[in-house]
Structure 1
Amino acid sequence: MSSIEDDGPSSTLPRRQLGRFLRERRESTGFTIAEAAKLVDLSRAVLQRIETGQIQKVRKQDVDALCKLYDVGEDETAAAVDLAVQARAKSWYHAYGGLYSSAFNMYVGLEAAARRLTTYHDQHIPGLLQTADYARAIISALPSFTSREDIDTRVEYRMKRQVLITRRTNPVEMDVVLHASVLHRVIGGPNVMAGALRHMAEMSKRPNITIRIHPYSAGLTWGRPHGSFILLEFDRNARGEAIEPPVVYMDGGLSQDVYLEKTDDVRLYSELATAIRGTCLGDTESRSLLRQVAKEHERGER
């Protein structure tokens, strides 16, 4: 059997992402945990704990063996092994989202597993609420994406992600706060903006989605500037315990993305979200403002 050191019940993001990836690949190839474990000389209990992110020091050769068993390609195998190495770090910042395939995009993996998203955005509409035209305008503006095919693929992928909030069974809950500046920053032209804002107004009617506008008149919450952030919360088990601990995500833009896992950090951003929400327009007023500004874009008043 492989020698793997247990790090207790806590779980870091690289471990969780690696476990999630290995579990999905195992299930897609039809292996049970017991079958896969036996074929790579692991115990069932150990493989189960790897898949749930409960073991820190996973040997690289074990990850490589599992990837070979699941017929994973060379690039994704290398990325999975790298996650195993990163999982040993005490402090870890993820900067690989744009380099790996979608299977290794840390935020997308967390988003797909989340039960509830609490978001604050002051630059653009969040991806799960974007129209295809709005998404294309953002993606095509990136200097690294010059191929029409590449842009179309990324837009298509972003649109597919939106099934998380539109599916009939257990859609993800979204509590969205948008600063008013997002409504007026023209991305893709006035017609694209009008369509994007009308789309958000319609989406806000869904029982699992709340959209509130943070007006200019609200000033600075807590008297200091803060950027966009997303608080991700996950399902609970039969005992009422969170399957995964909550995480705060901040898009690093041109730098590293930041993920905060410490209880105090998560609580701070949860309290910040509550404070911002308290100075927002109400649901109905926010929906009306989205439609009003959409008309202004159509009339060329922006």
Structure 2
Amino acid sequence: MSESGSTVPRRQLGRHLRDLRLQAGMTMPEAARLIERGTTTLQRLETGQTHKIRLLDIRELCSVYSASDVVTAGLLGLAQEASGKSWWHDYGKLIPEDFNVYVGLEAAARRLTSYSPDVVLGLLQTPDYARILARTASPTDTPDEIERRVQLKRRRQNILTRKRQPTEFDVVLLECALRRVVGSRQIMAAQLRHLADMSTRPNLTLRVLPYSAGIPLGDPVGMFTVVDFGLDKKNEPIEPSVVYLENFTGDLYLESQADVERYHVAHASIRRAALDETNSRSLLRQLARECAT
């Protein structure tokens, strides 16, 4: 593999390998011995600090850990993507669609900064709202497959409600996302009440960008999330921040400091144009009452 390249897939690959090893109940020396590699090599793989990734090592580790075919294919795809400076998670090619790269980043985040113009973000969706979206997006899925998708979103939401170090979440929703009916008016009423309730949590800041605010950036902007991983004891970033852009045909991850800063500035501009937290919560409860009648 190339000496240069994206740090996102390397770090994600390392996290998944570590999780698989722990699930298999193996120590690092035991796993390294089984694939006939040094413990230091495996350590560097798990921490995302290696630039030379052998696909053979990934295949053998997946075999040793009894990883599923989907997980194995996903990790091999991450290993290949690690050579790219900025990379697309392109469905149906290197990484299977069912292998969700972003979920791993989200789980490791200390702070998420998001904007969504069209839909309530997954971390804030009720099961009924999520279920309707899943059925619409994947009409050929079985009921069991739909429920697995819904349960995945529910597990992801634990990062906001856990007692120990819940993730900070600063989100702005365009008014469109609140007025667009998903499923039924009853489902929307429950979703809007849930948003209002969640907005009272100390780790969550939720603001609504009303139609009356116009276009704060001068150009329309799509859904984005800036993922920050916090600071270490030396006040240095634990990991470089990443911008996640969700697209219909794939996901884009931006890692340059200039890109990250640009999206932080964009979010700050949108946030200033939005309603404050109290008025946003009042609007959510008002819209919930309207949907319920």
Q: What is the TM-score of this pair, normalised by structure 2?
A: 0.93
User: Which 10-residue stretch deviates more, 147-156 or 89-98?
Assistant: 89-98
| Corresponding residue of 2:147 | 152
Q: Is the 8 A contact 2:131 2:146 kept in 1?
A: yes
| Corresponding residue of 1:258 | 252
- From 114, 123, 130, the equivalent of 1:119 is 114
Q: Is the 8 A contact 1:96 1:105 kept in 2?
A: no
Q: Is the 8 A contact 2:6 2:87 kept in 1?
A: no
Amino acid at match of 2:288: A
- 1:291 equivalent to 2:285? Answer yes
SS at 2:237 equivalent: coil
Structure 2: distance between partners of 1:182 and 1:286 = 13
**Structure 1: gaps spanning 5 or more residues:** none
SS at 1:240 equivalent: coil
- From 100, 106, 115, the equivalent of 2:96 is 100
- 1:36 equivalent to 2:45? Answer no
Give, in angstroms, the shift of residue 34 of structure 1.
Answer: 2.7
Q: Is the 8 A contact 2:110 2:230 kept in 1?
A: yes
Give, in angstroms, the shift of residue 51 of structure 1.
Answer: 1.0
Amino acid at match of 2:255: E
Give, in angstroms, the shift of residue 197 of structure 1.
Answer: 0.4
CA shift in 2, pair 1:163/1:206, >3 Å: same
Structure 2: distance between partners of 1:226 and 1:101 = 25
Structure 1: distance between partners of 2:291 and 2:274 = 22
The 5 Å alignment of 1:266-281 reads 266-281=260-275
Structure 2: distance between partners of 1:138 and 1:67 = 32
| Corresponding residue of 2:230 | 235
| Corresponding residue of 2:170 | 175
Structure 2: distance between partners of 1:268 and 1:82 = 29
CA shift in 2, pair 1:144/1:243, >3 Å: farther
- 1:17 equivalent to 2:12? Answer yes
Give, in angstroms, the shift of residue 50 of structure 1.
Answer: 1.0
- 1:83 equivalent to 2:78? Answer yes
The percent identity for this pair of structures is 46
User: Which 10-residue stretch deviates more, 169-178 or 237-246?
Assistant: 237-246
Give, in angstroms, the shift of residue 20 of structure 1.
Answer: 1.0
- From 276, 283, 288, the equivalent of 1:282 is 276
CA shift in 2, pair 1:289/1:49, >3 Å: same
Amino acid at match of 1:100: P
Give, in angstroms, the shift of residue 144 of structure 1.
Answer: 4.1
Ranges of 4+ aligned residues in structure 1 off by more than 3 Å: 4-7, 96-102, 143-146
SS at 2:146 equivalent: helix
Q: Is the 8 A contact 1:57 1:88 kept in 2?
A: no
Give, in angstroms, the shift of residue 5 of structure 1.
Answer: 7.4
RMSD: 2.0
Amino acid at match of 1:280: A
- From 37, 41, 45, the equivalent of 1:46 is 41
- Report 1 or 2 for greater relative contact order, CA contacts < 8 Å, sequence distance ≥ 6: 2
Q: What do the CA deviations read for 1:80-123 (whole angstroms, capped 9, x no partner)?
A: 22321221234421124997376x31111111111111110111
Q: What do the CA deviations read for 1:34-65 (whole angstroms, capped 9, x no partner)?
A: 33223322222221111121222211111112
Q: What do the CA deviations read for 1:228-278 (whole angstroms, capped 9, x no partner)?
A: 11111113322222222111111102x221111111011000000011111
**Structure 2: gaps spanning 5 or more residues:** none
Amino acid at match of 1:89: G
User: Which 10-residue stretch deviates more, 56-65 or 168-177?
Assistant: 56-65
Structure 1: distance between partners of 2:123 and 2:206 = 12
Structure 2: distance between partners of 1:101 and 1:222 = 32
How many positions carry a matched residue from both structures?
292
Structure 2: distance between partners of 1:28 and 1:44 = 18
Structure 2: distance between partners of 1:74 and 1:256 = 21
